[in-house]
Structure 1
C-alpha cells in the first residue's frame, strides 16, 4: 500500500515565493544583460568582420542568392547586358558594374556554371567594347541595352547623347579589374572596354569630372561628394586616373552630430551632399575600406541603429528605385543641412516614399555581423518574389514592400553574399591563387 502525501498549503507558500523571487531575479538579470548589450552596441563603434577561410552560408542566405539570381535570368538580353529595371531594357555603366558583381557572385556560389559564365562574360565585354561613346570620348550616361543606342534616362526609342558620369564609370572599372584579375581568360577583353576612353576628361585639378549635354551645350563639372567621390576615385586609379583631391577623405569633410554620433558629411553646398549607406557598403565589400575609413562606415551604421531604437523603424537607408512615381528616392541620413531627409532626383521632398533598402540591410549585415544588422537581415530578407528577384525594400509610412526590381539591388545582394562566403574583400579575394 502506498502512502498518500498531503501538502500543507501554508507550507507551500514559502516555496512558491522563493520561486517567484528567483524568476524575477533571472528576468532582471536577463533584462540587464540585454540592456548592457544594447548599450555596448550603441556606444562602441562596430568593426567589420572578416575571416581567414570560407564561411558556410545559411539556408536563408542560399535562398536569397537564388532569388537575386532569378532577376538576372529573367532580364538577360541578347547583347549580354542585363536590364537596369525589370522588363525595361535600359542600362547605365553603374548598372553594368552591378551586373558583373552579380555574375561573379553567381559563378562562385555555383548558381552559374563556369562555361556559361565565360560565354556570357565574353558576350557582355564584347558589347561594351563596341558601345557608341559620347562624343567619341566616354560611355554615355544611359543606353538602350537591346540596341546599344545612347539615350536619355527612361527614353529608349530616341537616340540622344546626354554626357558621362565619372561615378558610374568607376563602378564598372572596379568590376572590370576584379574580373581581369580573377579570370585571366577575360583580362584582354576587360582592358579593351576602357582602351577607347579619353581618360583625361575624367579629372581636372585633382577632382573627378562629369559632363552633361543639354540643348546643344555641354557643362563639365566636378562630380561626387564624400562617399561616392572617394569610392569612385579609388576605383579609377586602376586605369591610371589619379584624382588626388577626390581621394582625400578630409579635404571637404565635416562631422554632423546625429543622435549623438559624429557622422561624416560633405561641407560643399553647391549640390546635394547626400550621406547615405551605399558607397560605404560597396567600399567595404570590394576593397576592405581602402577608399573610405571603416570608422566612417561604422558611424553611419551606428546612427541608423540609434534611429531604430528611438523610432522602432528598421533603418538601412540608401538611394533606391521605387515601384511608383517619382520612381527614385535618396534616403539620406543627412543632406542639405537636414537630418533623416528623403528627396527625389530633382531634390524635392520625398518623405512619403522614405524607407529602408534591402541592399543596404544585407550589405551592413555581411560586413559587420552585429545584433542590429542581424535584425535588419531577418526583418527584410523576405522582401522578394522568388520567381523575379529581390525587391528594393519597404515604405515606412505604409509598411508595404517597395516592389521595384533592379539589377543594382540584386547585384549588390549577390556580392554581399559572396563577401560573406569568401570572408574577405572581393578585390583581395580576386588576387589570391586558386
Structure 2
C-alpha cells in the first residue's frame, strides 16, 4: 500500500504584482519602535475612520469600483504531491542526535468537554488597533456576490481552509463588538448559500479551490464535468469545525448548515476511519490518506463534529520522538511530515486543550522560548503565504532529520525564508502568559505598525513579508476573541 500524501497549500504570485503591493510597506520590521512611538501610532490610527469600515457591507454595496488589481497567478492546495514509488514501500526512520524512540501505539479519540463560564477580558489599545487592521482586510477583500473573502489580497480565489478562516474572522469581528450582528448575519447567510450552491467535484464534495467572485471551481480541470481536480480532506475538516461553530453561535443559521451537510457526501472523504483526499490527473484519479501529525488530528475533529467515525486518525502509532535542543518532540514517520505550530494553535483556540498523545503545543512553545534564550531572536515557525518565490512555505520545527527547516510545498529547502509568523506568534501570546509571550505580542504589534492590514511576518533578513492574507488576519482576530472569553476555546460554550 502506498504511503499517504499530505495536503499542501502553494502560493504562486507574480513577482511584479507583489512588488506593486509591497513597495510602500516592505520595511525592515526588526527596527524597534519606542513605546511612545507605538502609543502615538495607536492613538492616531484608532482615531482614523476605517476606510473600509463596518458602515458598508462590501465594495459592491457602496457602488464604488475597486481599484484595478494587478493580475496574480497562483496554484492553491496541491494535494497529494508526487512520491518516488521506489521508496514508497520503505520504512521511513527519523533519527536526530541518535535519540529516536518508538511511541507506543495508542488511539486517542478527542472528547470535547464543557468549559467553565468565561471571565471577560478587555483588550488594550494595541490589540484594538490590530482588530481594526484585520477588519480592513476583511472589508476590502469580502465579495458581495458570494460572501467569500479573497485568500490573498489581489487574488480572487479561496480554498475550504481559507473559507473557514473567513467564517472565523466574521464571527470574531462581531464578538469583539466591531461588526454589527445584522451585518454578520447577512455575510454568513450569503456565504452559506454559496457553499450550498457550489459545483461539487464529481458531485460529492467541494473542489480544492473556488473563485471568490463567481463561486465557480478554479484551478486544474475547473471547466470540465468533474468540476475541478479533487478535494482536500484536511481543508474540509477545518471548514466543518467552523460550520459547527456557526450552528452553535447562530442557531437561526443551523438549518442552512444542516442543508449543506445533507447535500455534500461527507463520508466520501473518510476511509478506514481516517481522512482521504482525491487528486485528478491526466492519467487517473488518486484517492489517498491525507494528513500528518497535528494537521490530521485537528482536521479529524471537524469530522467528529459532523458525527463521522474517524477514530484511526487519532492513532499515535506512526509517531516517533526525537531530540531538539534537549527536548523530546513528536514527529510523524510518514512522507512529507510537515511539522508547524499551526494545527496545535488552531485546535487550542477553536476546540480546546485536552491532553492527548498527539498534542504537543506546550512543548513547541517552550522550544521556541529556549531558542530565543539561546540567540535572542524571536521566531515563530508556521506555514504561511510568501510575497516572493516559492510563494508558500512550511516553516518546519522539524522535517526529515533537520530542526528549524523551511521548505516549499514539495519539500525543497528555502533560502532566506520567513522565520517569524505574525499569526502563530500572536496566537502563542494569548494562549501562554509569561515574559516570552509578551515579547511575541509586542513584536507582532511592531511589525504591523506601518501597515493598513496585518502583514504575514518577517523574513530571516528582517524584511516584512507583505503577502497580506485571510489566514493571518483571521487567526489574530480569533485569538483576540479567545482572549476576551477568558481564554476559553471558541467551541466550548
Work out whether 1:56 is the aligned partner of 2:122: yes
The alpha-carbon deviation at position 293 of structure 1 amounts to 6.0
Q: Of residues 456, 477, 480 in structure 2, which corresponds to 1:414? A: 477
Structure 1 residue 109: Cα displacement: 0.6
Of 87-96 and 143-152, deviating more is: 143-152
TM-score, L = length of structure 2: 0.73
* 1:344-382 CA-partner distances (Å, limit 9, x unpaired): 112111132232100001111111122111111101223
Q: CA deviation at 1:289?
A: 2.2
Quote the Cα distance in structure 1 between the aligned partners of 2:398 and 2:292: 12
The one-character-per-residue Cα deviations of 1:385-414 (angstroms, maximum 9, x if unpaired) are: 777421110001x20111111111111110
Deviation at 1:384, TM superposition (A): 2.9
| Aligned: 1:319 with 2:410 | no
Q: Deviations over 1:137-165 (max 9, x none)?
A: 10000111111221217x99999611101
1:72 Cα deviation after fit: 0.4
TM-score between the two structures when normalised by the length of structure 1: 0.83
Runs of 4+, deviation exceeding 6 Å: 155-159
- On the 8 A contact 1:70/1:387 being kept in 2, the answer is no
1:122 and 1:291 mapped to 2: Cα distance? 35
Q: Deviations over 1:53-94 (max 9, x none)?
A: 101111111111111111000001121100000021101100
Query: What are the equivalent positions in structure 2 for 1:293-372 lying under 5 Å apart?
Result: 296-372=360-436
8 Å CA contact 1:90, 1:156 repeated in 2: no
Determine if the alignment matches structure 1 residue 220 to structure 2 residue 287: yes
Native 8 Å contact 2:319 2:332 kept in 1: yes
Q: Which residue of 2 aligns with 1:266?
A: 332
Aligned positions of 1:1-80 closer than 5 A = 52-78=118-144, 79-80=146-147
Question: Secondary structure at 2:285's aligned position in 1?
Answer: strand
Pairs within 5 Å for 1:178-197: 178-197=245-264
1:351 alignment partner, SS class:
coil
Separation (CA, whole Å) in 2 of partners of 1:111 and 1:260:
44
Structure 2: distance between partners of 1:228 and 1:266:
11
More strand by share: 1
Aligned with residue 255 of structure 1, among 313, 321, 329: 321
Q: Give yes or no for the alignment of 1:238 onto 2:302.
A: no
- In the alignment, is the contact (CA less than 8 A) between 1:263 and 1:303 conserved in 2? no
Q: Report 1 or 2 for greater relative contact order, CA contacts < 8 Å, sequence distance ≥ 6.
A: 2
Moved more, 381-390 or 314-323: 381-390
CA RMSD of aligned residues (A): 2.1
Partner of 1:25: none
Task: Name the structure 2 match of 1:125.
Answer: 192
Post-superposition Cα deviations, 1:247-292, rounded to whole Å, max 9, x if no partner, equal: 23x2222111110111121122xx2111110000001001112485
Higher share of residues assigned helix: 1
What is the distance in 2 between the residues matched to 1:135 and 1:52? 44
Q: Give the aligned partner of residue 275 of structure 2.
A: 208
Stretches of structure 1 that go unaligned for 5 or more consecutive residues are: 1-49, 430-434
Shift of 1:216: 4.6
**Structure with the greater alpha carbon radius of gyration:** 1
